Chain A
């Protein structure tokens, strides 16, 4: 709030024409006036030199004057002059008077002031003035007005609202004020460089007012219908000087109303709400390039509109081109004339593959307020000719492909299974069925059977060997019995043959030696291996030798009876030795 705090008394400057054009005006210092009250009529000629003629006063009496004053100033390199004639007038009777146009003759031209209506009332005008100021209503000396540049607009069309303070006091001090709340508008503030009095005063009802612009806004109505800007309220202190505490005044502005028309039907595609006048230019910085090189596509939208609301146009870019989000650059000026300037979208496009790539034409639309029609701005299609990039650059750049998930558009069940179905009777599982149990038991039983048979067989085999050793005694005894028979018959050779056979058979069975391997050496070896005493094995050997000698060397004189005895003895002893 203090931003707007300004002390008008510091801005005590005389009204000077900034422009070098001559101007002529007439003003009164009071209106209405009371009968017989004195008031001043001032005719002011700015920046001109000439004769000022007295206007038709329409019955008002001149008490004094004219007083002439002139004023020259030179400021910021601009010189200005002012000449004023002041008359003191009075109204003799109640009623309304018209001061006719005054004329100023300057070089070859006549300037005319506007006529002034003066109302003369009974009683003191000063008191009524005080009353009105105390009630906080419209004050003739100090008031605020909201000006709208246009009162009938389309939705989205810009309107400039100006909040002006009019004052006839020299010194005005704003102490507090409330800006109206804006409903249904999107607003953009206009930067106000001049915070003091405007260089030019304004004439209202023949009274000269100093004017200050409190605020300027560009408004964009957002809905259609009657829109209202509420009254602005402010408190100020006037005429405060070092010696005077001044008067506190509370003033209220008018309410500004405007009619907003809806945009007509038939919005084209790509219309995003831009209203005003626009132009679009599209350019690519190059159209022939190598793969993986970047190209800048610039879309510039300029004109007078709510530019800040313009969205980037959607470009239809072929798959092979990579496009990045556009860089937005605004050059938007908000001034008393509204919002204008340009908004630039800069797209960075990188073709990843060689070939001809066409960027399709695109368009933006806006509503033209002056013609009341929609306008579509279309671009030209752009063709990029991309040649193969050199291998190095391809390798160097990271080939980024923006992958997109395949979208499931709508869910549905899957199709039936069309392959030949597996048909089974229900509850016909193999598991735990008799067949299954049989199948499980069969290998187990077969294994057990196998083990059993094998066991039996090895037992039998083991028995065979055992039997032989067991039977060896018997066999030997039988053979010896035959030898005894031969001895009785006195068959000497027969005795030896039987004895040898008995011994060999006995030893072969006992020591488990095959028939063909039953040699003296083998027998000797086996006997030694079974730790038979050397004495016994020597005797066995000699007995066998003796038998062989007797059979094959007829000259030997071995006694058959003795041999028989020895063999019986040997078998007996060997039987004992081999058992253990």
Chain B
């Protein structure tokens, strides 16, 4: 009980870093619950079997990947916030807390935040779910008399999945925290950011293979299967994006060397600080890269697959039915929501990681780094993280698009670069604004205070 008290206490005092987790869980729960409520609606009285089947298909399509992405997003932010507290956890260990007590405390905090966030997500999820059903009925995919229901399935899906993601992420991080010795953690920032787990590499490679396999099926077996081909192509993008996100630390390590060599001559001390940080704290950098990959892969993939579909339909002389229109709208709603979630995770991670680096910046300032040098180093890091994410995200989108484009044989529409450029610009503006404004705030603290004990 005392530790739970401690957990509540730290929740109150570390509002900044918990806000990040809170926002992620909230948005994630909204996405999951709004679509899970379609299951509730499908099981309502008087819903025809055909309508019920359409609703469950749609809810299932979102549910699966939405779940993975929400879990992924919540986990990455949670992981970030726990790792930044190593020193505090070490103090607890030094004063006699056992690893399992610390684990219970961290999980207790995570669960408290998640329940609050998911609970607050109920009302917006109800509204969005109703709007989605409205969109479906107005495009005549579902009978007009189907009544919207927000019931136990939505609640269970929203609450249990966000809780599962939180507990999973915190448990892994707590275990990592438990492995570091008290001495190491009490001396400055001992987080071992260099190691990349083997499990992570295996999972990432598997998902990438799944993505490529999906793409190959759309080009071969599932050629011209209409909506199915379209959705499998979308899944090819999502699976490759998550796979590449998991593998991104390896990519960043590989890229930083040539980038360092190419830019060394003109980036000076700021570039030196940035490249050493990326090399030594790769996982911190990937908290920005990963949501960029998901966001880019998903948004680019969906938009271009839909464009190819539309162009192919036009070329084949197929008039676009209301049904197709409805599918398209729904497709954009789904992807839009997930992309929005990824964008929120991205902003959160940028802000949370920069605010938590106040102490590190303080030390660099004491040693003679001007605020300008630190801001330039942060800009370098952010641009590098975002650019790598954009490149990897584009690759994952290309995997899905290539298969689909080949599958819709004969159609090779001219690729219109405008949406892609818009995505790139959005990502760059989001990351730079979030990172730099947070870094600015970290630098506003007088350096002799900033270099002291970090409190976010």
> Are A and B associated in one complex?
no
User: Chain B interface (Cβ within 8 Å of chain A)?
Assistant: none
